[in-house]
Amino acid sequence: MDIYKRLLAYVKPHRWRLFVAVLSMFAYSIANSLVSATLYIIVNGLYNKDEVRLDNLPHIPFLSSISFPVFWIPFVMIGVFFLRGFFDYLSNYQMSNIGIRAIRQVRDDLYRHLVYLSHDFYSRGRTGDFLSRIMNDVGQIQGAITDVIVDLVKQPLVILFNIPWVFIWGGKYALFAILIFPLVAVPITILGKRLRKLTKSMQERTGDITSFIGETLSGFHIVKAFCREEKEISRFEEINRSVFEYFRKTIKVTIIQRPLIEVMGAIGAGIAVGFGIKYLPPDRFVAFVGSLFIFYEPLKKISKVNSTIQQSIAAGQRIFEVLDARPSIRNKPGALVFKEPVHEVAYENVSFEYEKGTPILQGIDIRAKQNEVIAIVGASGSGKTTLVSLLLRFYDPTEGIIRINGKDIRELSLESLRGMIGIVSQETVLFNCSVKDNIAYGRPEAAIEDVRKAAMIAYADHFIEALPQGYDTQLGERGLKLSGGERQRLAIARALIKDPPILILDEATSHLDTQSEKEVQKALENLMKNRTVFVIAHRLSTVQKASRILVMEEGKIVQQGTNEFLLRLGGVYKKLYDLQFNL
Ligand SMILES: Nc1ncnc2c1ncn2[C@@H]1O[C@H](COP(=O)(O)OP(=O)(O)OP(=O)(O)O)[C@@H](O)[C@H]1O
Ligand SMILES: [Mg+2]
């Protein structure tokens, strides 16, 4: 229920709409209750022929002297239905409006929150699951917000305003029909509990489907290359079948509720009608049956409320799980906005582990001065990417301190820290926007001349200009329209345009053809000028130009020095060198 309360908080900003909606619901319920009175008038007029006389209502004696001509009847009918329709429209319009505004807000909040969460959160979950939460789960709660409010306010009002009429028409026989209603609540509550469990499982499985589709679509070429189509299809069918199973069970529970209520209602109404048919005058009898039918709709709706609430609580849980996750990397209160030129970057006895008990980095000491190029080499999995990601504070070290100009980077604001670091990551990430926007990603206000300049220094201008719309060419998802080397050079241009004092290059291991290799190499050399550079190097020339090479093995720096020094020294570096760079 706490979850439901939190969902309702999203309605709060729309108080006045809610107010109008509730007023309209009142008006609607009154107009709706007049429908049975219309029936009474019609049958009454039918018997009395030229006049409607309200003289057979012993409970309300003051009406007995009232009469009016039958030609009023059509106007009364039209009037009643017009008012009923108008207020129905008004309340539904306002409520739907509140609902879609609320889900827009939830989606905005969720996305904003997701984007600010830290790396550790993402490595725990799956992209598709987050997608599913933003799309499916948020969609689910729309019904919860609007339908539930409507049904909990409007339907009880409809019942409330109808009750006097049932007694006016049916007299004491009305009691049979009314007494049965409270009994309906019992099975509904039991079914509701089961429904919540089913819904939660179903939403989780739906998240699985989204993840699965995302994975196979992004690994599309691998699926094809390994002829795994049929295997993937059967894995998909497996997940889809389990969603179907939950769906089927949910539906079974949901749709049993209506007939259940109808039958229970019919028993009560049946008894009442059985007596009424004997003792009531025709006009009152018809109105009595009519007023009993008016109960059906609200009862059905109210019985559904429980399941809607249960479903939305399940969805809400998944939404608030994300909203309640705190980014583990945050600005300290009063974090320092760093503006000085960078003189030194230092790792002091830094250790790190992703999971408790499995150290990935141990006792790392590095001191990099301005304009130094620090190359990091080592076997795959030795912790190179992890080492540089600590500088960006994707994670914080478990032990030790990283300092820039002597200041602990945890004291700096994230914006100023990340603002002074450029990164060309191991996997090139491009966005579904134009070439220009991809290059200017870190400096959206950059003029087109700056973008061109960056592209030129990154040796990317030739191929960009050869594209159909040049810098305005849309790249498509993940930049799939470009070759590996072209994408790398775009990434280099993107790092360049920020003109960062510190640069991190995580060279991709992907092999480029000799021409691209040369161009990427030249682009990198341009990029490294006048900065403090950490380069995870796979290329011989990059390593040779480095001021110092750090050799990593199983999370430790085992050797360091210049290329010549390390070659003369022999050992790990010499072995790596011979293996990787042997010409
Ligand atoms: N998000 C993560 N959660 C848990 N363990 C991780 C995570 N990322 C990396 N690791 C582990 O940390 C170790 C170091 O990984 P890292 O990516 O730093 O290696 P690397 O030296 O960059 O390798 P490569 O040359 O292949 O890029 C690996 O054993 C890897 O399995
Ligand atoms: Mg790596």
> In this predicted model, what pLDDT tens digit does every residue of 234-247 receive, in sequence order?
999 999 999 899 98
pLDDT at 513: 61
Give start-end residues of each CATH 3.40.50.300 domain in the chain: 422-499
Window from 33-37, 47-51, 532-536 with minimum mean pLDDT? 47-51
pLDDT over 70 (residue 565): yes
pLDDT over 90 (residue 334): no
Window from 288-297, 474-483, 495-504 with minimum mean pLDDT? 474-483
Nearest to 31 by CA among 71, 91, 99: 91
Take atom 29 of ligand 1 and give the residue whose Cα is closest. Answer: 381
Distance (Å) from CA 555 to ligand 1 centroid: 10
Residue-level length of the chain: 583
Between 477 and 544, the higher pLDDT residue:
544
Type of residue at 538: H
Distance (Å) from CA 35 to ligand 1 centroid: 72
Could you tell me where the beta strands, DSSP code E, fall in 493-542?
Answer: 502-506, 532-536
Distance (Å) from CA 379 to ligand 2 centroid: 9
pLDDT band at 581 (very low <50, low <70, confident <90, very high): low
Take atom 25 of ligand 1 and give the residue whose Cα is closest. Answer: 380
pLDDT band at 359 (very low <50, low <70, confident <90, very high): very high
Q: Is 358 near ligand 1, meaning CB less than 6 Å away?
A: no
DSSP 8-state code for residue 475 = -
Residues 308, 81: contact at Cβ < 8 Å? no
Residues 505, 520: contact at Cβ < 8 Å? no
CB atoms within 10 A of CB 553: 15
CA distance 294 to 305: 18
Take atom 7 of ligand 1 and give the residue whose Cα is closest. Answer: 354
Give Rg (Cα) of the chain. 36
Phi, psi dihedral angles at 368 (to 5 degrees) = -115, 120
Beta-ladder partners of 67: 53
Type of residue at 362: Q
Average pLDDT over the chain, rounded to an integer: 86
CA distance 250 to 261: 18
> In this predicted model, what pLDDT tens digit does every residue of 286-303 receive, in sequence order?
999 899 888 878 887 887
pLDDT at 126: 74
Reduced to 3 states, what is the DSSP secondary structure of residue 375? strand
Instruction: From the CA of 379, give the closest atom in ligand 1.
Output: 25
Q: Is 510 near ligand 1, meaning CB less than 6 Å away?
A: no
| Inter-helix orientation angle 282-324/72-116, to 10° | 10
Beta-ladder partners of 68: 52
Which ligand number lies closest to the CA of residue 509? 1
Q: Is 381 near ligand 1, meaning CB less than 6 Å away?
A: yes
Between 416 and 62, the higher pLDDT residue:
416
Nearest to 361 by CA among 95, 555, 88, 548: 555
Give start-end residues of each CATH 1.20.1560.10 domain in the chain: 2-324
> In this predicted model, what pLDDT tens digit does every residue of 305-330 receive, in sequence order?
877 887 788 888 888 888 898 888 88
Which ligand number lies closest to the CA of residue 381? 1
CA distance 547 to 529: 12
Q: Kindly give, in sequence order, each residue whose CB lies less than 8 Å from that of residue 325, ignoring residues fewer than 6 positions away.
A: 113, 117, 121
CA distance 422 to 413: 16
pLDDT band at 571 (very low <50, low <70, confident <90, very high): confident
Q: Which of 126, 350, 354, 509 to mutate to test the pocket of ligand 1 (most atoms within 8 A of CB)?
A: 354
Type of residue at 428: T
Q: Is 426 near ligand 1, meaning CB less than 6 Å away?
A: yes
Distance (Å) from CA 582 to ligand 2 centroid: 21
Q: Is 382 near ligand 1, meaning CB less than 6 Å away?
A: yes
Which ligand number lies closest to the CA of residue 394? 1
Tokens of 13: 């900003």
Reduced to 3 states, what is the DSSP secondary structure of residue 73? helix
> In this predicted model, what pLDDT tens digit does every residue of 409-462 receive, in sequence order?
999 999 999 999 999 888 888 888 889 999 999 888 889 999 999 898 888 888
CA angle, 484 then 489 then 493, to 5°: 150
Helix (H) or strand (E) holding 399: strand 399-404
Residues 329, 116: contact at Cβ < 8 Å? no
CA distance 141 to 149: 12
The DSSP annotation for 14-69 comes to GHHHHHHHHHHHHHHHHHHHHHHHHHHHHHHHHHHSSEEE--S-TT-GGGTT-EEE
Q: Give this prediction's pTM.
A: 0.76
Reduced to 3 states, what is the DSSP secondary structure of residue 392? coil
Take atom 18 of ligand 1 and give the residue whose Cα is closest. Answer: 383
Residue 245, Cα to own-chain centre: how many angstroms?
24
Distance (Å) from CA 555 to ligand 2 centroid: 12
Tokens of 358: 């499995």
Look up the CATH architecture of domain 422-499: 3-Layer(aba) Sandwich (3.40)
Which ligand number lies closest to the CA of residue 386? 1
Q: Which fold has domain 2-324?
A: ABC transporter transmembrane region fold (1.20.1560)
% of the chain at pLDDT higher than 90: 32
Residues 130, 322: contact at Cβ < 8 Å? yes
Which ligand number lies closest to the CA of residue 376? 1
Burial 338-374 (b: 16+ CB within 10 A, else e): beeebeebbbbebbbbeeeeebbbbebebebeeebbb
Distance (Å) from CA 507 to ligand 1 centroid: 15
CA distance 535 to 543: 8
Residues 526, 503: contact at Cβ < 8 Å? no
